[in-house]
Amino acid sequence: MKHIGFIGLGIMGKPMALNLVKAGYTLLVSKKSNACGELEAAGAQSYPTNREIARNSDAVITMLPDSPEVEEVVLGKDGVLEGIRSGSLFIDMSTIAPSTAQNIHSAMKEKGVDALDAPVSGGQAGAESGSLSIMAGGSEKAFGRAKPLFEVMGKSFELIGEAGAGQITKACNQMIVGMTLLGVSEAFTLAKKAGIDLNKMREALLGGFAQSRILELHGRRIIDRNFEPGFKIKLHRKDMNIALQAGKELSVPLYGSAQVAAQMDSILAQGYGELDHSSIALLLEQLANAGE
């Protein structure tokens, strides 16, 4: 595979696409994207429709915000499904509902296309450094074909199971990240209200059983008051909704996830949806009257 269509050049997709260009792949992107000029300057080719991108690609990757966007790009008018050729590979790296992923798999299978749902974890930093964690659902054949691309974009990639398995795994990832973020934010708010030096506390906790990447990276964000998005809280809230819906469908009570989602709703209601998901700390500080 040499020609790779890449649709969705946002905060995550653009650096992922640029890494593929740097690795020697010929990227096909949309003329409508705000990042089209930058990708063309790096060597990508641009096309007016997603159908044309798919028609001229050996593999198509989508990296979009949510299920409706993926459905529109793939199944809509002038979409990927209209143009993609039998024998091609389709990889959706967005975080969407498992049922949507399964529907797209079925549509691709009818056209003789191998498909994977392959959501990622690692945020903007992971996308830029090519160190994402990739969780895939689909066939062994499709996964084997995608491996060279995953090696460029990620540091770890695992075939979890059949269609939709990658999305279930990503939902579980977001549940754990969300609940850990809430725990770190509550701890930092308590310490702040008590007059504790947060830098010293963070260093102490990183040396013990509470150590985590969330504490390391987002604890630093909270201390530095750096809430510029690596991953927007409005997108994490969307992911929590996917997890809660899956829990409802499978009759699994997700009490902790529901609490995190409710806290995120409060942040969004205050107009902070564009901030990093670590900004959940702002809500707790406000409730505790522990602001700056």
pLDDT at 292: 65
pLDDT at 123: 86
pLDDT digits (tens, 9 = 90+) for 95-119: 999 999 999 999 999 999 999 999 9
pLDDT digits (tens, 9 = 90+) for 191-208: 999 999 999 999 999 999
Residue with tokens 């770190």: 184
Query: Can you tell me the distance from the alpha carbon of 135 to that of 77, in angstroms, rounded to the nearest whole number?
Result: 29
Residue by residue, DSSP assigns 73-105 as: HHHSTT-HHHHPPTT-EEEE-S---HHHHHHHH
* 170 catalytic residue (yes or no): yes
**Total count of residues recorded for the chain:** 292
Percent pLDDT > 70 in the chain is 100
pLDDT at 99: 92
What is the average pLDDT across 33-38? 94
Query: Can you tell me the distance from the alpha carbon of 154 to that of 121, in angstroms, rounded to the nearest whole number?
Result: 9
CA 42 to chain centre: 24
Query: Can you tell me the distance from the alpha carbon of 220 to that of 204, in angstroms, rounded to the nearest whole number?
Result: 13
Sort 98 into a burial class: Cβ within 10 Å, 0-12 / 13-18 / 19+.
buried
pLDDT at 265: 97
Residue with tokens 């798919």: 54
**Residues in contact with 62: Cβ distance below 8 Å, sequence separation at least 6, in sequence order:** 7, 8, 70, 73, 74, 80, 90, 91, 92, 93, 94
pLDDT digits (tens, 9 = 90+) for 146-159: 999 999 999 999 99
What is the average pLDDT across 66-71? 96
Q: How confident is the model at residue 1 (pLDDT cuts 50, 70, 90)?
A: confident
Question: Exactly one of 2, 77, 141, 170 is catalytic; which is it?
Answer: 170
Sort 175 into a burial class: Cβ within 10 Å, 0-12 / 13-18 / 19+.
buried
Instruction: Please state, rounded to an integer, the average pLDDT across all residues of the chain.
Output: 96
Q: Please say if the pLDDT value at position 235 is more than 70.
A: yes
Q: Please say if the pLDDT value at position 161 is more than 80.
A: yes
Q: Please say if the pLDDT value at position 275 is more than 70.
A: yes
Cut 0.85: pTM above it: yes
Question: Hey, what domains does the chain have and what are their CATH numbers?
Answer: 3-162 (3.40.50.720), 168-288 (1.10.1040.10)
